[in-house]
Amino acid sequence: MFKINKKIVVSVSTVAVLSLGLSACMENVSPTKSPVQTKKGIDGGLSYPVINGKTSLYDVNEQVAKDAKKIHYGRVPTAAEYAAWNTDIMPDGTGLPEGEGTADEGSDIYDAKCVMCHGDFGSGGGGYPALSKGNAYELQKTLTNQRLKPDEDGPVRVFGSYWPQASTLWWYIKDAMPHPFTGSLTDNQVYSLVAFILNANEMKIDGVEVDDDYILNRASFLKIKMPNRYGFEPDIYGPKGPENVRKYYADPHNFGGQTYNVKKPASRCMTNCQEPTAKVVYIQNGGISDFHPPLSQVRSLPKVKNTGFNAEKAYTANCAMCHGAEGMGAPVLGNKAEWAAIISKGKSKAYSNGIHGINGMPPKGGSDLSDNDFESVVDYMISKSK
Ligand code: HEC
Ligand code: HEC
């Protein structure tokens, strides 16, 4: 987070930082009116129009940013933004509202608002973070993996296996997600989504599995014990606190140390940490031989049956985040007037505008659809908007 000319540089990736560090960095700035008109949504959430072809949540003037001497992109948050962002949900329950939801309900919300970025069951992909990779308790054990040998698995860091506190998840979803409409979820929706994510991580509360119908409410939420709760600091509570602290710091494995030579005691490794016998990649005469992928593993992808192109599915995955609701500056699916204006220019114009991008719509909406498939999706959108 940078503070320039008493302005806060707001970009998509700082939304989360803003919400976490709000009180620390807002002391010197006062809310003013935004030059960009924002629409207030439910629960104080805001949506932002697409301006100058920028699809980000915020209007960033790249031209000025290019000239380092004159950086004054970003703007002072509006009073409504302060109010929407200034929520603290702490591990002890401070700030956590009452409410409830089940994984079953969360699943529907997830499919409507999250799946296009975070993948089926939070599996990730497409550059967006995974929210689960399977059983959290098993995966927590991978965190000390050191990948000393090239073909070993590294640590899996997702919410279930890695995050020390569940309150961060509640807070993060409420404050920062879904990415295009931050702050738009109700408290019950957030409880449902959290239940869904706990379910995807195969987690238990008080020994009870969070299954589809488990009712997650404030009381049960506060009983969540994350598997990695002592992964960042020792358990300092209770009569055994000091003992725990000593034990924790006596074992360098707890904070990144490792042993590759059994005769040597465990020590923090800073240089030449790989086993001397580890296979390396040789580049010879411009080619690579004896290649052993050091960081990734060969994975067999599930076989997908080619059932033909489905325009509706392609729409949901690639277009719905902008065309599915008001407020994104894009013609909304089903809005007859908006689409009539587009159709009146001729379908081929709509195809080519979409393929090459136009005013805030990136080429093909940022998808990697073929021209033909893209046009089928446009046909689908038009047929739904007549
Ligand atoms: C348009 C794409 C998009 C949509 C839709 C979206 N997210 Fe995200 N999500 C992101 C991105 C990008 C990040 C990473 C942000 C960062 O690190 O600054 C993220 C991060 C997260 C994280 C933190 C993950 C981690 O391990 O750091 C959670 C939890 C999350 N999203 C939940 C949700 C939920 C729940 C929804 C639906 C209500 C949702 N997201 C909808 C793009 C999206
Ligand atoms: C990042 C947001 C975004 C995504 C994703 C997106 N669009 Fe758009 N789209 C827009 C915006 C904004 C406009 C309005 C542009 C304007 O006002 O001229 C638009 C306009 C259009 C138009 C009308 C073009 C015209 O001639 O006026 C078509 C057709 C279209 N989109 C199709 C699609 C399809 C198909 C997809 C998915 C494959 C898609 N869009 C994904 C933002 C998006």
Q: Is 162 left (phi over 0), alpha (psi -120 to 50) or beta?
A: alpha
pLDDT at 170: 97
Report the distance separating Cα 366 and Cα 360, nearest Å. 11
Question: Atom 18 of ligand 2 has which residue's CA nearest to it?
Answer: 359
Residue bearing tokens 């067999």: 300
Q: Residue 137: is its pLDDT beyond 70?
A: yes
Question: Which tens digits make up the pLDDT trace of 222-270?
Answer: 999 999 998 888 888 778 888 888 887 777 666 655 554 545 555 566 6
Q: Which ligand is nearest to the CA of 322?
A: 2
- Which residues does 51 contact at the CB level (< 8 Å), separation at least 6? 36, 59, 329, 360
CA 29 from chain centre, in angstroms, equals 28
> Quick check: CB of 385 below 6 Å from ligand 2?
no
Q: Residue 31 above 50 pLDDT?
A: no
Residues of the chain with pLDDT > 70, as a percent, come to 65
Split at pLDDT 50, 70, 90, the class of 42 is very low
pLDDT on residue 254: 67
Task: Using the mean position of ligand 1's atoms as its centre, give its distance from the Cα of residue 172 in Å.
Answer: 9
Query: Distance between CA atoms of 196 and 208, rounded to whole angstroms?
Result: 15
Task: Determine whether 63 is exposed, middle or buried from the number of CB atoms within 10 Å of its CB (0-12, 13-18, 19+).
Answer: exposed
**pLDDT band for position 286 (cuts 50, 70, 90):** low
Average pLDDT over residues 323-331: 85
Task: Decide if 43 contacts 110 (C-beta within 8 A).
Answer: no
Q: Which ligand is nearest to the CA of 327?
A: 2
The alpha carbon of 378 and the centre of ligand 2 are apart by a number of angstroms equal to 9
Question: Does residue 205 register a pLDDT over 80?
Answer: yes
Token pair for residue 119?
A: 């993948």
**Do 106 and 196 form a contact (C-beta atoms < 8 A)?**
yes
What percent of the chain clears pLDDT 90, i.e. is strictly above it? Answer: 38
pLDDT band at residue 353 under the 50/70/90 scheme: very high
CA of 358 to the centre of ligand 2 (A): 7
Range with lowest mean pLDDT among 9-13, 173-177, 208-212, 314-318: 9-13
Which numbered atom of ligand 1 lies nearest the CA of 169?
A: 29
pLDDT above 70 for 204? yes
Statement: residue 351 has pLDDT above 90: yes
Tokens of 28: 């010197």
Is 49 a residue whose pLDDT tops 50? yes
- Closest to 292 in 3D by CA, of 88, 87, 152, 195: 152
Q: Which residues contact 278 (CB under 8 A, 6 or more apart)?
A: 148, 149, 150, 294
Residues 6+ apart with CB under 8 A from 296: none
Is the separation of the CB atoms in 45 and 181 below 8 Å?
yes
Q: Phi and psi at residue 137, in whole multiples of 5°?
A: -70, -40
In the block, residue with structure tokens 């072809």: 53
**Highest averaged pLDDT of the listed ranges 32-41, 289-298, 303-312, 349-358:** 349-358
Q: Which of ligand 2's atoms lies nearest the C-alpha of 341?
A: 27
Burial of 350 (0-12, 13-18, 19+ CB in 10 A): buried
State residue 186's pLDDT score: 95
Which range is least confidently modeled, 94-98, 306-310, 363-367?
306-310
Cα 369 to averaged position of ligand 2 atoms, centre (Å): 14
d(CA 251, CA 259): 11
**Is residue 142 in contact with ligand 2, taking CB distance under 6 Å?**
no
pLDDT per residue as tens digits for the range 95-135: 999 999 999 999 999 999 999 889 888 888 777 899 999 99
Q: Is 378 in the pocket of ligand 2 (CB under 6 A)?
A: yes
Handedness of CA 236, 241, 242, 244 (dihedral sign): negative
Q: Which of 71-75, 100-104, 293-297 has the highest mean pLDDT?
A: 100-104
